[in-house]
Every structure is written in C-alpha cells, then in structure tokens.
C-alpha cells in the first residue's frame, strides 16, 4: 500500500502517568509480543484513536494472562479501574440503569491496557445521547474457506449500494477475517429505526445476490457466503474500534483504510503491534484525510 503523505508527522507518544506492571509478560505467544509493546502501541496511537473510541460506551476484551489464556468481554466496571476510566449510566430494557465504561484520555486508554485489555470495542453512539446512532456499520463476515478477495468485492458492493442512496462510507480492515463498511451519521435517528434500516438493507442485498450474501442468522445458511452482520446496529451492540489490537495470532490491528487502498490490500490483518509509527503516519496522509467524517442522515429505504 503506497501512500501520499500530506504533511510530515512525528510519532508522538501520548503522555500518560499510568504505570504498566509486568511489561515483559507475553500476551501473544505466536509473535512474542509483550504487554509493554501493547502499551507502547496504545500510547503511540492514542491521539488518532481517541477521536473514535473517546466518549462512547465501550466494551473491553481483557486477557490478563495473555490471549492464549482466559479472555473475557467486559461491559461494566468491576470497580477496579480507577478514575481515568469513566462511567455513563445507560437505561436497560427493564428500566433500570447500568453503569457502562468510557474513556476520553490517554490515561483512560492506558489504564485499560494495564488491566489486561487487548481489544477496545465501542457503541455506535456517543455518551451525550446513547439512543442516537452516530454511525452505521456493515460487518462483513466471510464463511470459513472464503478468500479475502470475496470480502473485498463484497465491501465494494456495499459501498456502491450505500452511495446510491446517498451515504458516504469508509472501510476498515478488522485485523481479523473481514471488513467493516462504516457510514458516519449525524446523531438523529434512534436505534429501532437504525436497526430496521440496516436489517432491510442487508436483506435486500442478500435477496439480490443470494449466492454471495446472507443476512440469515443460522450458521448453516452462511455456507460459502458472506454473512452481513447488521446486528452491530442496535442498542448495546459494539464493533471493534479503529486502531484496536486484536487478541488473535500475531497481534493484528484494526485499521482504517481508503477505498483506493482497498483495491490492493492483501489481508485484513495487514498491520500489527509494532506498526504504530506507520499507522500514525498513515492517519495524516491524503489517503485517509476525512476518514469516517460525513454530515449525513439515514435516507428513506
Ligand atoms: P472479523 O473481521 O474477524 O469478523 P470482527 O471484529 O468483525 O472481526 P466479529 O466476530 O464479526 O469480529 O464480531 C463483531 C463484534 O461483536 C465485535 O467487534 C464485538 O464488538 C462484538 N463481540 C465480540 N465478542 C463479543 C462478546 N463476547 N459479547 C458481545 N459482543 C461481542
Ligand atoms: Mn466481523
Ligand atoms: Mn460479526
């Protein structure tokens, strides 16, 4: 992936007072990447990551003993994070409020890392109004055995369809198997409307190209196809955040890319822990200027 750089950038490591214990602990046995290297990654990308992950409810994938041991998905504070990891009360379906987590500083990010976090996932809404979506995401999940070429084609298909109804989209490789096609939204529509829109669009795509797509939940119907995971677009659902490391072999990183780069990228796990400098430089490149930003609302469907 060749880039034009708009302006020279330095890798600025975010100032953080968080002390990382056991920095030599290996968190990915396949690559030998340590907790210290993980913390260095997050300190280096804090300035480009916080505009996204900051001020939205988050869930964490924590693997205190590394990704080869027990990991867990954490939505609520167990009371151990301290002040840099903040709370937002969210009303649950049954009418009672639950405290969710959010961060908005490098210290918040690094505190989570200190507590064994590898992955950061975020809601599609900001803490100011968690009922209104500020993005749509189509999480394209290939069935086992499908090659990346098929996912790439699928992403361009979604780009075209969303463009035809007036929505500008931005792609992200997840660091795993797939691609997220993201349409930023001015936070206006509430979750029921947003979910319904995403569901109907996913169904329409699956109906018009049933050989390649399915929006059906049963695994059996996904055979040889790409599952359009529209369920990221509902109250409480999360998607992996840009520049999050993944708790997968090689410690890959979820990375925003341009549609032009999408034509030639080789794998959704192209960047890894250790590539922070390149990721920061890319973020200031012409190719990624304005990534994820568009003033737009849900069209009629
Ligand atoms: P890939 O490209 O490999 O599919 P992905 O991040 O899209 O990577 P998915 O398996 O499609 O991974 O997961 C979609 C989202 O579901 C995740 O990004 C995450 O936010 C959410 N998720 C994952 N695990 C859990 C869990 N245990 N509980 C609740 N939500 C989860
Ligand atoms: Mn996915
Ligand atoms: Mn999914």
Residue 46 is assigned to a structural domain of this protein: yes
Residue 188 is assigned to a structural domain of this protein: yes
Minimum-distance ligand 1 atom for the alpha carbon of 268 = 2
Q: Same structural domain for residues 142 and 179?
A: yes
Q: Same structural domain for residues 125 and 244?
A: yes
Q: Same structural domain for residues 167 and 43?
A: no
Is residue 281 a contact partner of residue 211, using CB atoms and an 8 Å limit? Answer: no
Q: What is the pTM of this model?
A: 0.94
At 91, which CATH number? Answer: 3.90.920.10
Q: Same structural domain for residues 97 and 53?
A: yes
Q: What is the pLDDT of residue 12?
A: 52
| Closest ligand to residue 179's CA | 1
Q: What is the pLDDT of residue 112?
A: 97
Q: What is the pLDDT of residue 16?
A: 81
Residue 15 is assigned to a structural domain of this protein: no
- Could you tell me which of 2, 234, 244, 268 has the C-alpha nearest to residue 109? 244
Tally of domains within the chain: 2
Query: 72-105 pLDDT, tens per residue?
Result: 999 998 778 999 999 999 998 889 999 999 999 9
Q: Same structural domain for residues 34 and 125?
A: yes
Using alpha carbons only, what angle is made at residue 167 by residues 163 and 170, rounded to the nearest 5 degrees?
85
Residue 152 is assigned to a structural domain of this protein: yes
Ligand 1 geometric centre to CA of 239 (Å): 6
Tell me the residue range of the domain where 39 lies.
26-129+239-253+267-288
Minimum-distance ligand 1 atom for the alpha carbon of 142 = 4
Residue 20 is assigned to a structural domain of this protein: no
At 151, which CATH number? Answer: 3.30.70.3300
- Could you tell me which of 208, 186, 164 has the C-alpha nearest to residue 300? 164
The list of the chain residues with pLDDT below 70 reads 1-14
Q: Same structural domain for residues 244 and 274?
A: yes
- Could you tell me which of 246, 229, 273, 117 has the C-alpha nearest to residue 175? 246
ipTM attached to this prediction: 0.93
Q: Same structural domain for residues 63 and 211?
A: no
Residues flanking ligand 1, CB < 6 Å: 73, 121, 139, 141, 174, 176-178, 229, 238-240, 268
Residue 12 is assigned to a structural domain of this protein: no
């Amino acid at each position: 992936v060749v880039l034009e750089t708009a302006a020279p950038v330095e890798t600025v490591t975010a100032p953080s007072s968080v002390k990382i214990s056991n920095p030599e602990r290996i968190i990915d046995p396949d690559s030998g990447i340590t907790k210290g290297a993980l913390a260095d990654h997050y300190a280096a990308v804090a300035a480009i990551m916080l505009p996204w992950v900051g001020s939205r409810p988050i869930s964490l994938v924590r693997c205190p003993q590394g990704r080869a041991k027990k990991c867990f998905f954490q939505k609520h504070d167990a009371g151990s994070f301290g002040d840099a990891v903040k709370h937002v009360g969210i009303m649950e379906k049954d009418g009672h409020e639950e405290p969710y987590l959010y961060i908005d500083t490098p210290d918040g990010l690094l505190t989570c890392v200190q507590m064994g976090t590898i992955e950061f996932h975020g809601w599609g809404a900001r803490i100011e109004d968690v009922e209104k979506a500020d993005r749509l995401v189509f999480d394209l999940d290939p069935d086992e055995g499908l090659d990346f070429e098929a996912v790439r084609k699928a992403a361009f298909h979604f780009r075209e369809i969303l463009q035809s109804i007036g929505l500008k989209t931005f792609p992200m490789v997840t660091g795993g198997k797939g691609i997220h096609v993201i349409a930023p939204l001015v936070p206006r529509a509430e979750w029921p409307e947003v979910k319904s829109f995403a569901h109907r669009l996913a169904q329409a795509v699956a109906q018009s190209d049933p050989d390649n797509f399915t929006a059906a939940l049963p695994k059996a119907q996904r055979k040889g196809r790409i599952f359009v995971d529209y369920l990221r677009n509902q109250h409480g659902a999360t998607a992996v955040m840009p520049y999050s490391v993944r708790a997968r072999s090689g410690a890959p990183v979820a990375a925003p890319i341009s549609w032009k780069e999408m034509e030639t990228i080789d794998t959704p796990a192209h960047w890894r822990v250790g590539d922070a400098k390149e990721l920061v430089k890319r973020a200031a490149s012409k190719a990624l200027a304005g990534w994820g930003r568009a003033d737009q609302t849900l069209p009629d469907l």
